[in-house]
Structure 1
């Protein structure tokens, strides 16, 4: 083997080693970034959970791990304010929001995904344009409308502005556009009318998008704080977030463990819903990414 061949082989091996090192460094950097993101997102939740397990005599800021874990704080939360009533009010609003968003979001998305009627592009453009306006810019007009309807200090007044979300309509439209046209043509050949095609062809094919609508609608209604704060004046109609705010206002600084227990009680239903529907959720996200 000549010197030129030896030098070439050494150069190839050196380049291969450098490439492997670069790949390892890039992989390590990605994992480090993911670990940092995990700590930033999950860390506060874990801290709140550990704080909720600390006893009355423990210093909240002394350390993360409780020395004597106890569930007494969760029982104290139920005694400190009407937790069951606030949870019930929130569940009513969330159930109404999920139902209306699924029904109207699916119907609106189906209508926008179908060609053949005039004004479809205009309606689509107007709906997308409304996404540019933040809630705070229309909050006063929405409150005046709710007041004129006589729905102030009612759960219906809390639910009505979120009865259907433009974003959910867009999600369902994207899911329906991704349905193969062959399925609709086969249904037409079988004599299916518009309603049968919608309920028996398109809705089953968009189950993932429906799961996304369910989760986002439930989370939006469950976590909403500003709008219930504006609409509700009587504590018996408070949602859970307003109840937790009243609990935080009535508690002392040394009772942070009680507030943490209330926050974890509010977080648990959302976690259970997401874990139950996560398979459909990620499927629906993929469906919505095809055409929007």
Structure 2
């Protein structure tokens, strides 16, 4: 096979794979504009015969999807901001600061990476119940303030910062917080972007923990609200597709907007020792 034919074959296979991956998303978007019952006909139509916004109007006017959307934005943004603050400071401390028990603590962080999150859900729920944080936004946000993966990721990036740069700043009289804010943070921007995207998407798509902690419908996030809506409208495929679009679209738009920084962070991390 000639190089030109091989190139066309590879590109064709990649294009076919991309089309197969995107087709469910495209049909979900198309079905959200169909009239009630239209998507259930055989064969299922690919495009709506008469596009309508009725499903989205029903979601936001009757089903309260606007409140769920606001809850998800509030929780996801709070988790992202607070988690970045905790993970950046902890990762930098493990990388560049010398304190008693640093190695033992970091080995504990690495060991916690292999523990499934589901194992800690029951004791964590009981602790939050004792603190009175059940059915509150704080109960969803607090357990995500620091993550083992985030600390490890920042620590690996921070290790590449020259120690001489930090020592020179200390000799010049800069305090630790000033060094962190003026020198370390600008050098950690790729790691910050990567971690922010990971954290926001994880918080936005999280279903299990908000389902456990949030008992009042007024506090539901989008995934939990959509699941509760599905129990009442199991046969309304078009309405469910509209709800799925509202849930997926913000996260997809964020990833597409920041994918350059995300890929830059991954590529920089792949060459650091």
Q: CA contact under 8 A between 1:104 and 1:164: conserved in structure 2?
A: yes
How many pairs does the alignment contain? 271
How many Å apart are 1:57 and its aligned residue?
5.7
**Structure 1: distance between partners of 2:106 and 2:20:** 37
TM-score between both structures, scaled by the size of structure 1: 0.85
- Corresponding residue for 2:249? 268
Q: CA contact under 8 A between 1:174 and 1:289: conserved in structure 2?
A: no
1:59 equivalent among 30, 34, 39: 39
**Structure 1: distance between partners of 2:127 and 2:2:** 60
Whichever of the two has the greater Rg, that structure is 1
2:74 equivalent among 68, 92, 109: 92
- Corresponding residue for 2:28? 48
**Structure 2: distance between partners of 1:189 and 1:27:** 57
Paired residue secondary structure (1:59)? helix
1:194 equivalent among 161, 176, 187: 176
User: What are the Cα deviations for residues 54-90 of structure 1, in whole angstroms up to 9, with x where unaligned?
Assistant: 1236234522222222222211211231112111222
How many Å apart are 1:250 and its aligned residue?
0.8
1:77 equivalent among 44, 56, 59: 59
- Corresponding residue for 2:202? 220
After superposition, the Cα gap between the structure-2 partners of 1:28 and 1:179, relative to the gap in structure 1 and judged at 3 Å, is farther
1:89-168 mapped onto 2 (5 Å cutoff): 89-168=71-150
- Counterpart check, 1:281 vs 2:250: no
User: What are the Cα deviations for residues 89-110 of structure 1, in whole angstroms up to 9, with x where unaligned?
Assistant: 2222112201111100100110
How many Å apart are 1:225 and its aligned residue?
0.7
Structure 1 alignment gaps of length 5 or more: 1-20
After superposition, the Cα gap between the structure-2 partners of 1:152 and 1:44, relative to the gap in structure 1 and judged at 3 Å, is same
- Counterpart check, 1:205 vs 2:174: no
**Structure 1: distance between partners of 2:207 and 2:98:** 41
- Counterpart check, 1:38 vs 2:18: yes
How many Å apart are 1:125 and its aligned residue?
1.1
Paired residue secondary structure (2:39)? coil
Q: CA contact under 8 A between 1:179 and 1:205: conserved in structure 2?
A: yes
**Structure 2: distance between partners of 1:41 and 1:165:** 30
Deviates more, 1:179-188 or 1:232-241: 179-188
Deviates more, 1:176-185 or 1:214-223: 176-185
**Structure 1: distance between partners of 2:263 and 2:253:** 16
**Structure 2: distance between partners of 1:34 and 1:282:** 19
Paired residue secondary structure (2:70)? helix
Q: CA contact under 8 A between 1:102 and 1:210: conserved in structure 2?
A: yes
How many Å apart are 1:33 and its aligned residue?
4.5
How many Å apart are 1:178 and its aligned residue?
2.4
